[in-house]
Structure 1
Amino acid sequence: MGQEVALFLVRRAGQALLALVAACSGPAAARVDPADYDAFFLWAGVKPPALLARAKVLYLLAGEVRRQGDFVSLRGIPRAAKAEVWLVVRTQRIDWDEGVMQVVLRELAKWQAGGSRIVGLQIDFDSSAKGLGDYAAFLKALKAKLPAGQKLSITGLMDWSANADPAALGLLRGVVDEVVVQSYQGRETIPGYEAYLAKLARVPVPHKVALVEGGEWREVPALKSDPLFRGYVVFLVNPK
């Protein structure tokens, strides 16, 4: 009988420890379901799902500025009846010559003339935290060339919230209208995202968090009290 009691107590202690760990770690992580959101990234080659018909905001990859310096178009003029649309340019370099700048601006003008509600231009560039000064200078020059009423958005890395110099982050204020911070790489959520996003209030411009479809996600409490947090954008992927 004594041995049975001892085993019972060990099992109870183990159960209590597991419960304590679960309580400390917060709610269990779920998988990102696009049906729960209304803003989306749609990259070239990804089949548009039916839920885009009710989307409020769409970020559509229009083309890329590649290492050689040329702009490659990847999408025709969209026909989005209801959603606000951002024209996204993925770029591998930020030393654009005037020719590339004018090609991108002409593409934006075509999209505006196409009848959709074009909000503005988004630049998708993986600037390091240390490179934010040069990036901000590029963005300032670009913003000055945008048509009146068109906004400028950028994607951002979670690393900025933890490691960027506050003065460098401050250079984005008054230049970009929003930063959409990527919490994923490929199809997977980046491990440790909670610690980075808990510091996102350090980014002094309105910001959103981009989640990848099917990726792990646990709500970050600090976002609820962040006055500049503007919600989530889901990066859509094709089924495996």
Structure 2
Amino acid sequence: MAAPNGRGSWNIIGKFVLAALACLTVAACAEPDDLNANQQAGTINAADYSAFYLWTGVPAPAAMDDAQAVYLLWGELRIDDPSRIVPLRRAAPTAIVDEKWLVVRAERLDWQEAAYTQLTREADRWNRHGGLTGVQVDFDSSTDELGDYAKFLRDIRLRLPEGLKLSATGLMDWPANAPRQELDAMRDALDEIVIQTYRETVTIQDYRRYLAATERLDMPYKVALVEGGEWEAPAQLASDPDFRGFIVFLLGEKHKKVRK
């Protein structure tokens, strides 16, 4: 059942059972104006952030009452079937928020036409009354295959309904080690990229070294953190005009207990 209209109405969460990996997480994002509050070393607390990636099956945190942006996992195109995206969220969200993104997780890039059609139809449905900002693709491309991934993203972009933006998640190794021409190709395909600083439920220890290269992206980007992870914001982020904020990846209760 869809949430009632209104900011902070996210009770559609938890209505559907998610595949094991998809149940892991939610994420939250802080605007660049909040940078000064996030530069001190410590652990990540969702209450300090103002936007969320919300995965189906994970309860919405209280901080979502004041969310500025939400990225909602809609479905997955799995490795065994390039023709179909498995829907994980049946109801189109209706809560009012400044930014609303439909997220699709991909395990392969050789999509058949039926999968593209399924995605664009769902984006149209979510945007039927306006309010959908865009589509985000979540795919773990290796750094040496970014060129192929950029081609795939350009194809997605051409198919999106008019007015919708395109985002993608990214690995820290991309800005650090990808060839310039492949980063340029990603920039040409996307409106933003979200760089992840964690592996599963743990912050990658040398994130500062990798994030020192984010200026090579030369495009709008956000930095994704993991809830409860150790973090100290690199100083250069505050002065980077392309930096758009932090994203905190919240863990479901089961995974919080495992980490403890």
Shift of 1:225: 2.3
1:166 aligned partner: 180
TM-score normalized by the length of structure 1: 0.85
Q: Which amino acid aligns with 1:54?
A: D
Question: 1:36/1:133 Cα in 2 relative to 1: closer, same or farther (>3 Å)?
Answer: same
1: CA distance, partners of 2:115 / 2:142: 23
**What is the DSSP-based 3-state SS (H/G/I as helix, E as strand, rest coil) of the residue aligned with 2:175?**
helix
Q: Which amino acid aligns with 2:65?
A: A
1:191 aligned partner: 205
1:89 aligns with 2:104: yes
- CA-atom RMSD, angstroms? 1.4
Instruction: List, as ranges, runs of 4+ consecutive aligned residues in structure 1 with deviation greater than 6 Å.
Output: none
1: CA distance, partners of 2:41 / 2:174: 24
Bigger radius of gyration: 1
2:191 to 164, 177, 191: 177
**What is the DSSP-based 3-state SS (H/G/I as helix, E as strand, rest coil) of the residue aligned with 2:53?**
strand
Shift of 1:50: 2.1
2: CA distance, partners of 1:119 / 1:178: 12
CA contact (8 A) 1:198 1:221 kept: no
Q: How many residues align?
A: 213
Q: Deviations over 1:124-182 (max 9, x none)?
A: 00111101100000111110111111000000000112110111101122320000001
**What is the DSSP-based 3-state SS (H/G/I as helix, E as strand, rest coil) of the residue aligned with 1:117?**
coil
1:50 aligned partner: 62
1:220 to 220, 229, 234: 234
Shift of 1:122: 0.2
1: CA distance, partners of 2:130 / 2:227: 25
Q: Deviations over 1:9-46 (max 9, x none)?
A: xxxxxxxxxxxxxxxxxx86311111111121111221
1:41 aligns with 2:53: yes
Q: Which amino acid aligns with 1:230?
A: R
**What is the DSSP-based 3-state SS (H/G/I as helix, E as strand, rest coil) of the residue aligned with 1:67?**
coil
Q: Deviations over 1:49-77 (max 9, x none)?
A: 12212100101100000012221001121
1:153 aligns with 2:167: yes
Structure 1 residues without counterparts, runs of 5 or longer: 1-26
Q: Which amino acid aligns with 2:46?
A: P
CA contact (8 A) 1:85 1:118 kept: yes
TM-score normalized by the length of structure 2: 0.79
Percent sequence identity over aligned pairs: 48
Structure 1 range deviating more: 28-37 or 141-150:
28-37
2: CA distance, partners of 1:142 / 1:150: 11
More RCO (CA 8 Å, sep 6+): 2
Structure 2 residues without counterparts, runs of 5 or longer: 1-38
Question: 1:116/1:48 Cα in 2 relative to 1: closer, same or farther (>3 Å)?
Answer: farther
